[in-house]
Structure 1
C-alpha cells in the first residue's frame, strides 16, 4: 500500500494554520472562519459524546448545499461516526427509505424537508437536527435531549481554558474503517449504498493535492451529497486552506457571473454541457462571422484572435481560473477542437462514486483531446479486451480509492467485482500506448446493429449535438431503427427569425446533416423533437432509461 497523509491530518493542519481565514461561506450570506468551523465541530462532538453516540453509528445528512452542510458533514466524519449524505433533490419517501436502509440513528436536515417526512417511517432515528438553526426537530432519547440542553456548559467543562488551535485533533488510526455511505440513486427497491473508507478519501485528496491546482478561493456548484462535488469541490480544497463559497439553489446567469467576478475562483468543476452551451453562445457566433473566418486562415492573425477569445472567456469566470475540470460525460469533439485552438485550460476526467470519485485525470497542458486522461496513481485501470488499444472492452479498476462494496447488499457487491478483485465500471473504452483512456459509452447503452456492429449512441449524439439549434440529444433503438430525440434551442430559433416552413424542416435537416458524418450502420432513421429538456441526474447526465 502507498504511504500518504490521512486527509483528516491535512484538515487538522489546515485548520490550525488558517485559523482566522474564512473557510465556509454562503455567497450573500453566512461566513465561518476555520476557527468557527472547528469550534462548531467540537460542539457537535461534545453533543455526540454526551448522547451515547458511538464510533460506527450512522447519521444521515439531507439538506441544501451550504456552509452549514459543510460543517455538519465534517462534524460527523471527524467523530468517526459514519456519515450518510443524501441528495436534497430526492423525494421524501426516498430519503426516509435510505435513512432506514443505512441504519441511521439520527438525521440532519432542515425544517422544510422535515415537514414532508414522517418519523413513524424511520423507527431507528433517535433525533432529528435542523442544521440551519441547530435546533432539535425531533427527539425520543432523553440522553440526547439532556446533552442538547446543557451543551454550552458541557463544552466549557471540556475546554476550561478555552478552545484553541491545539485543541483541533482529528483521528487518523482508522484508515480502513467505514467513513461514508453514499447512495447513487433514490431507488428504494434495491438500494446501492457505496461504502467508502477513510483510506479511499485520503487517496483521492492526496492525489488532488499533488496534481490539481491549489488556490485561495473556490465556488462550489455541484451537489455536496454527490462524490464529485463532495471530494473535489470541498474536501480536497478545505484540506488546502481554501475558502469554499456556495451558491445555493440554481443561480441565474447574472448572479453566477457576479459571483465569479467577486470571488475569482482558482478552479472550476463543471460538466461538459455547461462548456458546450458557452461555446454555442459565446464562441461559435464569433468564429463563424465571415470576416473572422477569413482572418483565422491567416497565420499569426489567427493566434491573436484565439488569444482574445480565450482572455474574454477567462475574464468572464473571474480571471483567475487555472483549470476547468469536467466529468460525467464526454465533451463534444467540435467544441473540444476549438478549445484546444484557443488554449483553453480544460481537462475531462473520469470517475464514479465507487472510486471516491476519481479514476483518471491529466493536467490540461498534457491532456489528449477525446480522452479522459490517464489513470491516477492511486489506482490501476485495465480494459477487458484482447487488444485494449483497438478493441473496445469494459473499463475495470482497483486501488486505494476503490469502494469496499455496497452497504447491506452482498449480491450487488459480488456482482460489482471480477473474480480477481477489479471493479467492473460498466463503461466501455480503449487505452492507448501512453495510458490515455478513451470512453466509448456505457455497456448497457450499447446497441447491437443488424449486422452485429457495436453502436455507441454517445458517438452519434456528439454528431447530432453539433447541428444547428440542437441543445442535446438521446439516440435510442426503436424497432431496430436508430431514432434521435433532440431538444432544440428555441431562443436561437426565434432570434434567427425562421419562417414556419424552415422551422418545420429542422428535424430532417438535423438527420441528413448528421448522417453525412456517420457510418452506414449508425445512420439516424428519424429525428423527434422533445418539448422539454431531458431529465438529468445530479451530475447533469441524462436519465437515458426514461427515453428508451
Structure 2
C-alpha cells in the first residue's frame, strides 16, 4: 500500500494531522536525536501522547483567553511536541530565534502578546530579565530532558518531562479547530527594514502547505531525513519536519552546525533541505580533499561525505550558484530549488526530480495560484497568512484590491509554467535614464565567478557598484595570489554579457563577511546612497 493510499488529505488542522500520523505510522521512529552521546528515537505514538500531555497541561491552567506561547531553543523532540500540544488547544505558538539578544526577544514577546514561554536550559540565564521586562509572561516551561521543575527566585519553572508524566492519561482533546483557526506567529526579517512583521498563520493554511506537493512514490516508511535548518523558520517546521512526518520519515536532528558533517555520516539520510552556504562549504571541502587524494573517485568521495544514501537535496533561502549545483548533480545528489514566503506558510513553487527546469524556482505547488502583475509575482492560496498581527495597515498594503498577496519579487512564468525570479522590487536601481535594474540579476551572474564568496550590488554616486567578499579559501586551494585581479576580470566578462546600462562601474573589495539577517540574507541597509 503506497503512502498516497495511507494518508488522509482531508485533514485541516494540526490535531487531526497528529492523530493521523499516530494511526498510520505508530511505532515508526518520528524523531531521532542525541541525548548526550547517545541517539534516542521517539515514535509517532509517543509524539501524540506527549503532545496531548502538553495540551492537557495548558488546558489545566484555566486561561479564559487564547494563550500566546513563545518557544525559544534548538530543534528537539520536546520542542516539536510542545508546538503540537500548544496549537492543538487553539492556543498560538510563537517561535523566535534563539540567538537574539534578550532585549530583542522581549520586544518580540511584547509585539506578539506572549503570556507563556517554552525554552531550553541554555536560555535559562535570561529568564529573570524576561520576567522583569515581560510581566505578562506567567508560565515558564523548560523543554530540556532531565531538568526537574524548580524555582528561579520567585519564578516557577515547569519541567516538560514532569508535564508529560503527570498529564499522560486523560480525555481526548476536543477544543474546536477550524481551517482558519489562528495557530502561529512567525516573525519575518526583512533585508532593508530593521523592524520585523508578525505573520499570523492558521491551522488549515499550514496543513494545506504540508500537503501541497506530491507524496513520495514508495511502499515503505522509515526513511531518514536530516534536519539542519533552525526550527523557528517556516521552512524548517512546516516544510522540512512536517512534510517528513507526512511521508512517515524519521527526522534526524542535527544537534549543531559544527557536527553536521559527522551527523550526515551517522544519519545516512535520503534527503535534507540546506541553504546555499552549507552546500558551498561542503563543496569546497570535498574538492580540497580530492586534491589531496586524487586517486579516490570524486563521486564516491562526495557521496560518502553525506552518508552514502542521499537521493536528492533541496535548497532554500537563496539561489545556489550553477557550479555547485552542477557538481552535486554529477555526484548523483541533485539539488532542487524552490520558492516560498513566511506569509505563504511558506511553499509557493518548487522544482522536483520529475519536474525541473534549470535556473527556475519550479512550478506552483498544489492549490496555489501565481500571477505576474506589473512584473510582480503575486500569490493566491489557502496557505496565505491571515495577516500581520495587530497591523491592519501593513496587512492591507500586502494584498491587492482583488485579494492577491504581493510578494515584492520580480519574475516571469514561461510557457510550461516554470517561474523565474529576477529580483526584489524594493531593491531596484532606478538609473538616471529611467531604466530599472535588478541588483539580484547582476549578483547571480557575479556568483558564477568562483572566487566571489559574497557580493552585493547597489547604486552609489549614480553608478552601479559591486561590493565583493572574495573566497580566500578557494583562491588558496587553486594557488591564486591576486584574487582581486581574477574577480575584476570576471566582472569585466559579466559586463560584456549584459546591456551597457547594467554594467558594474565600481568595485569594492571587503575582507569580512556581510552582516546577515536571521534568514541568512545579506543586509542591504545603509548601502545604495545616491550622489547629492
Q: TM > 0.5 between the two?
A: yes
Match of 1:511 in 2: 491
Match of 1:195 in 2: 200
1:44-83 equivalence runs, <5 A: 44-53=54-63, 56-83=66-93
Match of 2:5 in 1: none
Change over 3 Å in CA distance of 1:81–1:136 after alignment to 2:
farther
**Distance in 2 (alpha carbons) for counterparts of 1:540 and 1:152:** 35
Q: CA deviation at 1:59?
A: 0.8
Q: Which residue, 257, 264, 267 being the options, matches 1:260?
A: 264
Encode CA deviations 1:219-254: one digit per residue, 9 max, x unaligned.
111111110111122122123332222112322xxx
Match of 2:226 in 1: 219
Q: Which residue, 128, 136, 143 being the options, matches 1:124?
A: 136
**Distance in 1 (alpha carbons) for counterparts of 2:117 and 2:336:** 37
User: Secondary structure at the residue paired with 2:318?
Assistant: coil
**Distance in 2 (alpha carbons) for counterparts of 1:285 and 1:139:** 53
Change over 3 Å in CA distance of 1:279–1:250 after alignment to 2:
closer
Match of 2:448 in 1: 466
Q: CA contact under 8 A between 1:8 and 1:170: conserved in structure 2?
A: no
**Distance in 1 (alpha carbons) for counterparts of 2:448 and 2:421:** 19
Question: Is residue 493 from structure 1 mapped to residue 475 from structure 2 by the alignment?
Answer: yes
1:340-419 equivalence runs, <5 A: 344-385=333-374, 393-419=375-401
Q: CA deviation at 1:276?
A: 4.1
Change over 3 Å in CA distance of 1:250–1:340 after alignment to 2:
closer
1:321-336 equivalence runs, <5 A: 321-336=310-325
Q: Which residue, 270, 273, 293 being the options, matches 2:274?
A: 270
Encode CA deviations 1:494-515: one digit per residue, 9 max, x unaligned.
344455xx35634533433432
TM-score of the two chains, using structure 1 as the length reference: 0.83
* Structure 1 gap segments, 5+ residues each: 160-166, 292-304, 386-392
Q: CA contact under 8 A between 2:451 and 2:487: conserved in structure 1?
A: no
Change over 3 Å in CA distance of 1:460–1:282 after alignment to 2:
farther
**Distance in 2 (alpha carbons) for counterparts of 1:266 and 1:411:** 44
Q: Which residue, 414, 434, 437 being the options, matches 1:455?
A: 437
Q: CA contact under 8 A between 2:223 and 2:250: conserved in structure 1?
A: yes
Match of 1:183 in 2: 187
Q: CA deviation at 1:493?
A: 2.9
Q: CA contact under 8 A between 1:371 and 1:436: conserved in structure 2?
A: yes
Match of 1:388 in 2: none
Encode CA deviations 1:135-178: one digit per residue, 9 max, x unaligned.
36669899x98x9999689637x54xxxxxxx776767421110
TM-score of the two chains, using structure 2 as the length reference: 0.85
Aligned residues: 508
**Distance in 1 (alpha carbons) for counterparts of 2:154 and 2:256:** 32
Change over 3 Å in CA distance of 1:376–1:525 after alignment to 2:
same
Match of 1:390 in 2: none
Match of 1:302 in 2: none
Encode CA deviations 1:438-468: one digit per residue, 9 max, x unaligned.
0000111111233332211112112222224
Q: CA contact under 8 A between 1:373 and 1:436: conserved in structure 2?
A: yes
Match of 2:506 in 1: 526
Q: CA contact under 8 A between 2:325 and 2:334: conserved in structure 1?
A: no
Q: CA contact under 8 A between 1:467 and 1:513: conserved in structure 2?
A: no
Change over 3 Å in CA distance of 1:152–1:272 after alignment to 2:
closer
**Distance in 2 (alpha carbons) for counterparts of 1:414 and 1:498:** 53
Q: CA contact under 8 A between 1:200 and 1:400: conserved in structure 2?
A: yes
* Structure 2 gap segments, 5+ residues each: 1-7
User: Secondary structure at the residue paired with 2:426?
Assistant: coil
User: Secondary structure at the residue paired with 1:528?
Assistant: strand
User: Secondary structure at the residue paired with 2:211?
Assistant: helix
**Distance in 1 (alpha carbons) for counterparts of 2:252 and 2:137:** 31
Change over 3 Å in CA distance of 1:429–1:138 after alignment to 2:
farther
Change over 3 Å in CA distance of 1:50–1:342 after alignment to 2:
closer
Change over 3 Å in CA distance of 1:532–1:370 after alignment to 2:
same
Root mean square deviation, CA, Å = 3.5
